[in-house]
Amino acid sequence: MKKITTLTAIAVVLAMPAFAEFKLDERFTDADGDLIADIPTDAADQLDPSTLIFAYTPVEDPAVYAEVWQGFLDHMAELTGKKVQFFPVQSNAAQIEAMRAGRLHVAGFNTGSNPLAVACGGFRPFAMMASEDGSFGYEMEIISHPESGVSSVEDIKGGKMAFTAETSNSGFKAPSAILAAEFGMTAGEDYEPVFSGGHDSSILGVANKDYPAAAIANSVKARMLERDVVSEDQLTVLYTSQTFPTTGYGTAYNLAPELQEKIKEAFFTYDWEGSALAEEFSKSGESQFIPITFQKDWEVIRTIDDANGVVYECN
């Protein structure tokens, strides 16, 4: 039995049939059946902090993204009348635990950790970045170095395969399922799984020949190529998946409803033109926030979790 631990929340990988029912932690209610925690009806259970804490998913250098997000956070501060502070998280586990403990109010959770954040952290996602025409998403890629000796997915057999973290969709869940279903390869039997801790670390590891192959999100790769952190001639793409939803943005379930609406307004009224956010995320083709729902837009991710036998248990 393999455990994915987030301090107080544990996603347990069990041998169970696919398509299990997605359930929230018993702390939360879901009267309307939309698969996310309801806002508490009692005002005494609602939070209205003087300072809002925001965290972006920990995929790359937090110092870089503190500057990238500052203009947007200033916009949120103006609309909400609150101070807004960027919180540089180092792991998905720490980010989910911070929201679960009431120390994180607004966040972008990566694709794979969204279900755990929703089920155990009380996360209410409502937005996602998209291109100008409204299209969105990224693909999982399995990559290698041209001189690694791994020129096809089949060549991974008998060697090491780098993943990012067990809560990551493109960095672990999807490639694990694909390697098993499409190539008949199981971790621990056909290859040795190693964990880098992040997409940037996996990409750098392949570029520097530390890992013979790795599973990564190509949106992260695109931004790293654009910043000349790595070059095209250091990376070979062995496999590209279907398109998956990207980082989901939302709030803690127990913020006051009026505050949650103001935060939503901040996302959907932000002017991207000429902003640091536009400069950074245009590298992966994103230029606006669009509305999403966890129930509809994360269905494919929940299906992958089901196929992997993932069950979220919160304590």
Joined tokens for residue 103? 């120390």
User: In whole angstroms, what is the distance from residue 289 CA to residue 63 CA?
Assistant: 22
Quick check: helix, strand or coil at residue 110? coil
Q: Summarize pLDDT for 279-301 with one digit per residue, the tens.
A: 999 988 999 999 999 999 999 89
Cβ-based neighbours of 294, under 8 Å, separated by 6 or more: 34, 35, 36, 114, 118, 125, 248
Of the candidates 284, 184, 179, which has an alpha carbon nearest to the alpha carbon of residue 238?
A: 179
Q: Return the residue matching tokens 């041998």.
A: 15
Any alpha helices (H) in the chain, and if so which ranges? 62-80, 92-100, 114-121, 174-183, 199-207, 218-226, 257-269, 276-281, 294-297, 299-307
Pairing of strands 83-86, 51-56: parallel
Whether 142 has a pLDDT exceeding 60, the answer reads yes
Instruction: Tell me the sheet residues that pair with 10.
Output: 5, 313
Domain limits, CATH 3.40.190.10, in the chain: 2-135+246-314, 138-244
The mean per-residue pLDDT over the stretch 263-267 comes to 98
The answer to whether the beta carbons of residues 105 and 252 sit under 8 Å apart is: yes
Quick check: helix, strand or coil at residue 33? coil
Cβ-based neighbours of 218, under 8 Å, separated by 6 or more: 138, 139, 140, 141, 240
- Report the pLDDT value the prediction gives residue 59, as an integer from 0 to 100: 61
- Report the pLDDT value the prediction gives residue 161, as an integer from 0 to 100: 97
Q: Summarize pLDDT for 44-78 with one digit per residue, the tens.
A: 999 999 999 999 988 667 778 899 999 999 999 99
Whether 16 has a pLDDT exceeding 90, the answer reads no
Q: Any idea which fold 138-244 has?
A: D-Maltodextrin-Binding Protein; domain 2 (3.40.190)
pLDDT above 90 coverage of the chain, percent: 78
Q: Summarize pLDDT for 197-218 with one digit per residue, the tens.
A: 999 999 999 999 999 999 999 9
Instruction: Give me the phi and psi of 234, to 5 degrees please.
Output: -95, -5
Quick check: helix, strand or coil at residue 11? strand
The mean per-residue pLDDT over the stretch 157-180 comes to 93
Whether 11 has a pLDDT exceeding 60, the answer reads no
Q: Which of the four pLDDT bands, split at 50, 70 and 90, describes residue 5?
A: very low
User: In whole angstroms, what is the distance from residue 101 CA to residue 113 CA?
Assistant: 17
The mean per-residue pLDDT over the stretch 300-308 comes to 85
Joined tokens for residue 205? 């590891």
Strand runs labelled E in 101-219: 106-109, 123-130, 138-144, 160-163, 192-195, 213-217
The answer to whether the beta carbons of residues 139 and 285 sit under 8 Å apart is: no
Give Cα separations from 108 to 41, 62, 87, 162, 269 (angstroms).
Answer: 25, 13, 11, 24, 17
User: In whole angstroms, what is the distance from residue 226 CA to residue 284 CA?
Assistant: 9
Number of H helices, E strands in the chain: 10, 14
Instruction: Tell me the sheet residues that pair with 291.
Output: 127
Whether 108 has a pLDDT exceeding 70, the answer reads yes
The listed CATH number (2.60.40.10, 4.10.490.10, 3.40.190.10, 3.30.9.10) that belongs to domain 2-135+246-314: 3.40.190.10
Q: How many CA atoms lie within 13 A of 312 on its CB side?
A: 26
Higher pLDDT among residues 310 and 159, named by residue: 159
**pTM of the predicted model as reported, rounded to 2 decimal places:** 0.79
Q: What is the mean pLDDT of the chain?
A: 90
Whether 84 has a pLDDT exceeding 90, the answer reads yes
